[in-house]
Amino acid sequence: MPRKKIALIGGGQIGGVLTQLIAQRQLGDVVLFDIVENLPQGKTLDIIEASRIDDMNVSVTGTNDYKDIAGSDLVIITAGLPRKPGMSRDDLLVTNAKIMKSVAEGVKTYAPNAIAIIISNPLDAMVTLFQKVTGFPANRVIGQAGVLDSSRFSTFIAMELGVSVRDINAMVLGGHGDTMVPLVRYANVNGVPVQEMLERKYNDAKKAKEVMDAMVQRTKMAGGEVVNLLKTGSAFYSPASAAIMMAEAVLFDQKRLLPVCAYLNGEFGVNGFYVGVPAVLGENGVEKVIELTLCEEEKAAFDNSVNAVKSLVDDMNRLGL
């Protein structure tokens, strides 16, 4: 059976980590594209020179020409400027929208049958723009946000409770921004509610709520926390790992239920917008959106997040992007 072809658009920090992870896991042959001359060629050469050490047996190439992504089964897009300290994801709208338009045209021309996973910020707007420019079926255009945000939420819970993160089940929905919605009520440690464990730990319901509220807020600001620490860039390892989880679900038709930025047709009361929701990922991309029962407070928070996404998309349309 021939190997899958995976195109990575953007040779920055995330693109480099993605290339290495895909090669090490032998998910398929990789083409790393970037507009900067020799950058993708240098990164891929460095990675394949470790082939003997890491037991990698796939093709890894770098290019500055979109024609080399021809025939790709999967395209992962990281192209765009990263955040700097003090910037929100939304501050990147104008600059990254222009980049995304160019990327979308390249993918549309040379990889018209690919499934696309988008990481570029502001995420929800960039996914919307990519789908609009390419005209790809909505199920074949997916945003990576919820997998990363949920992993961050799970990590903070594990750190607080002193348990293995492998046993944490937590999910974050909504837009990939400050209005994202970590679902506190659904968070559990192998079925045991996290809130209940916090109350037992502190023997104080008020204190437990304060601790959970702090973890929710840290999850919302997690990307910014990394940006402020790095000073010269934004998170790259965790976003790449999150995209790999989604890629494996698609490439191997795993039918994983993951929180992703997906197009909604009435689910959760939303029509015609990309928003972070639970969805089944398989060989056809988003195969089904799963509607959770949200309480009044959760629904209000989700609707607020959806409105933030709508506002961002409206800004993009108003600016003619």
- The mean of the pLDDT values for the chain is 95
Nearest to 65 by CA among 99, 44, 37, 95: 37
pLDDT-based confidence at 81, cuts 50/70/90? Answer: confident
pLDDT at 321: 76
Peptide bond into 122 cis (omega under 30): yes
Token pair listed for 230: 């790095």
Q: Give the number of other Cβ atoms within 10 Å of residue 262's Cβ.
A: 28
Angle, alpha carbons 2-108-177 (nearest 5°): 100
Sheet holding 29-33, edge to edge: 60-63, 29-33, 5-9, 74-77, 115-118, 141-143, 256-265, 271-282, 285-289
pLDDT at 285: 98
Q: At what angle do helices 237-251 and 13-25 cross, to 10 degrees?
A: 40
Per-residue pLDDT, averaged over 293-316, amounts to 95
Give me Rg for the CA atoms of the chain.
19
Residues tagged active-site:
176
Tens-place pLDDT, residues 33-71 = 999 999 999 999 999 999 999 999 999 999 999 999 999
pLDDT-based confidence at 4, cuts 50/70/90? Answer: very high
Q: Helix (H, G, I), strand (E, B), or coil: what is residue 281?
A: strand
Does the structure show a pLDDT above 90 at 23? yes
Distance CA(18)–CA(64), nearest Å, equals 17
Domains of the chain in start order, with CATH, are 5-145 (3.40.50.720), 146-321 (3.90.110.10)
Tens-place pLDDT, residues 136-166 = 999 999 999 999 999 999 999 999 999 999 9
Residues 6 or more apart whose Cβ sits within 8 Å of residue 52: none
Beta bridge partners, 262, equal: 275
Angle, alpha carbons 83-87-91 (nearest 5°): 90
Distance CA(12)–CA(34), nearest Å, equals 8
Distance CA(81)–CA(222), nearest Å, equals 18
pLDDT-based confidence at 7, cuts 50/70/90? Answer: very high
In degrees and rounded to multiples of 5, residue 62 shows phi and psi of: -115, 150
